[in-house]
Structure 1
Amino acid sequence: MSMRRSWLASALALVIASAAQSAPDQRRGEQVYARCMACHALAYDRVAPRHCSLLGRRAGSVPGFAYSQAMKSSRITWDEKTLDWFLARPMKAVPGTTMTYDGVPDAKDRADLIAYLRHANDSAECRSLGPSHR
């Protein structure tokens, strides 16, 4: 009986460790976001549109930003699933996009990045915009 408990305890520890490793890590996602900062920022438009309030926003809808016709016509609403799909291969996902970055091929990197973006609205940078501009 003791051997069985030991085996079960070991198996449970392995499952917990595996789940912890696979759970999205927003801190690591912030490091992945550094790749995006050549064109994007959280709270203001650069070469590419801002990311505050990205989740739930329609693609191509930040007022005043000059999107490609492909992005404006994409009918995408950004959520975790559409971001994951788009970030894997942006130019294939939306042919004609002006985004020239080849994407984030690693699924764990994308999950971490999306976790970071999900929590970005809680940042001082995004809060400073006020609710109507996020």
Structure 2
Amino acid sequence: MREQLKKIWPEIEWIKNPELKEKTYKCWEYAVENSVLSAEDLEKIPFSLLIKDCKVSFMNHKRTAVQLAVEMANIMKNNFGEEIKIDMDILISGAILIDVGKLLEYEIVDGKLATSRAGKLIRHPFSGVAIAD
């Protein structure tokens, strides 16, 4: 599982703090192990079931969000200097984990990805916090 996650989430390796890096991996391992989806599926499924014919994959969307967060933080550090302190490890881990709960929202119905009843009741922000806790 770890090697699969390293393949789809190379940004986890950007985290310098070994404890936080490990916790980030563990969250994703738990989510994938408890999902109907595999790590490889995340590179194929749309990032949203609410957008008709969404062509952007979950992982493309997620990795782009992480990369944008890092770029924005770097610009802020450059522009604000010592006026602002940004813990890049927390920022990266948070951006990587922001939608981890989505993996628990899904089910496969008639061969198609759908939001499960549980996923409708407990949305991914809440399940994601539970995973990270």
User: TM-score range with shorter-chain normalisation?
Assistant: under 0.3
Greater helix share, 1 or 2? 2
**TM-score, normalising length from structure 1?**
0.27
Bigger radius of gyration = 1
Greater strand share, 1 or 2? 2
